[in-house]
Structure 1
Amino acid sequence: MDARYAFRVRVRLEPAREGVSLEPGSAATTVTLFREAPEPGTESWLFFRNTLWRGEVGDEDYARRLAAEWLGVPERTVEAVDFRELQTDEAYFDALKGEIAADLAAFKAETVSEALSKYLGSSVRVTDSDE
C-alpha cells in the first residue's frame, strides 16, 4: 500500500545575512511538497478529514504552519498552500474506503463516496502499484 498527499506551496525566500537582498520578483518560489499518507486505521490517518474540505485546505493558517514545519522554514515565509491531490494505489484506496465505511458517522456522510467527495473533492488519483 502506498499513498501520499501532494501540496503546492509558495515560499518567500529571505536572505540569511544582513547586507544581502533579493529582487522582489525573484524572492518567491513554488514547490510541490509530498507528505506520506498514514495507513488507514492507524494514528493520523484522518489527516485528510481534519485538514481538507472539498479538496481544499480548510484552515490556511494551519496549513502554512504545517508546510513550514515540513519544509524546515520560518512560518512567515510560507505564503500559500494548496492541496493538489491524494496519490494512491488501489490497495491503499480500498483500505481507505473500508475504514471510512466502518464509521460513516464520523464523516457525517451516508456513503463512502459522499465522505470522499466531502473531504477530498475530486482530488484523488489512483495509480497502479508499479508506477
Structure 2
Amino acid sequence: MDAHYTFRVRVRLEPAREFVSLEPSSAQTTVTLFRDAPQPGTDGWLFFRNTLWRGDVSDQEHARRLAADWLGVPERSIEAVDFRELQTDAEYFDALKAEIAADLEPFNADTVSEVLSKYLGSSIRVTDAEDD
C-alpha cells in the first residue's frame, strides 16, 4: 500500500553569504516535491482534507510554511506551492475510500465520490505497483 502527494514548488534561491549575488533571472527554480501520504486511519491521514480544496492548495501561506519545512529552506524563499496529484496504488485508494465511507460526517458530504471531488478534484492517479 503506497501513496504520495505531489506538489510543484517555486523556490527563490538566496545566497548564504552577503558577498554572493545571483542574476535575477536565474534565482528561481521549480521543483517537484513528493510527500508520503499517511495510511488511511492513522495520524495525519486527513492531510488532504485539511490542506486541499477542489484539487488546489486551500491556503497558500500554510502551504509555503509546509514546503519550507519539507525542503529545509527559509519560508521567505518559497514563492508558490501547487498541488499536482495524489498518486496511489489501488490498495491504498481502496483503503482511503473505505476509511472515508466509515464516517462521512466530518467531510460534510453524502458519498465518498463527493469527498474525493471536494478535496482532491480530479487530481488522483491510481497506478499499478509495476508503474512505480
TM superposition score normalised by structure 2:
0.98
Q: Secondary structure at the match of 2:42?
A: coil
Q: CA deviation at 1:4?
A: 0.2
SS of aligned partner of 2:97: helix
Question: In 1, Cα distance between the equivalents of 2:4 and 2:19?
Answer: 40
Number of the residue aligned with 1:121: 121
Q: 1:91 corresponds to which letter in structure 2?
A: E
Deviations 1:18-59 (A, max 9, x none): 111000011000000000000000000000000000000011
Which TM-score applies when normalising by structure 1? 0.99
- For the residues of structure 2 that align with 1:129 and 1:41, how far apart are their CA atoms? 22
Aligned-partner residue type, residue 31 of structure 1: V
Pairing of 1:1-131 with structure 2 (within 5 A): 1-131=1-131
User: Shift of the alpha carbon at 1:79?
Assistant: 0.2
State the SS of the aligned residue for 1:130: helix
Task: Give, in whole Å, the separation in 2 of the partners of 1:85 and 1:51.
Answer: 13
Shift of 1:129: 1.5
Distance of 1:20 and 1:53 partners within structure 2: 40
Gaps of 5+ in 2: none
SS at match of 1:11: strand
Q: Distance in 2 between matches of 1:77 and 1:90?
A: 36
For 2:66 and 2:12, how far apart are their aligned partners in 1? 16
**Matched position secondary structure for 2:50:** helix
1:100-128 CA-to-partner distances (Å, cap 9, x unmatched) read 00011111110000000000000000000
Whole-angstrom CA distance in 2 between matches of 1:4 and 1:28: 25
Taking only the aligned residue pairs, the percentage that are identical comes to 78
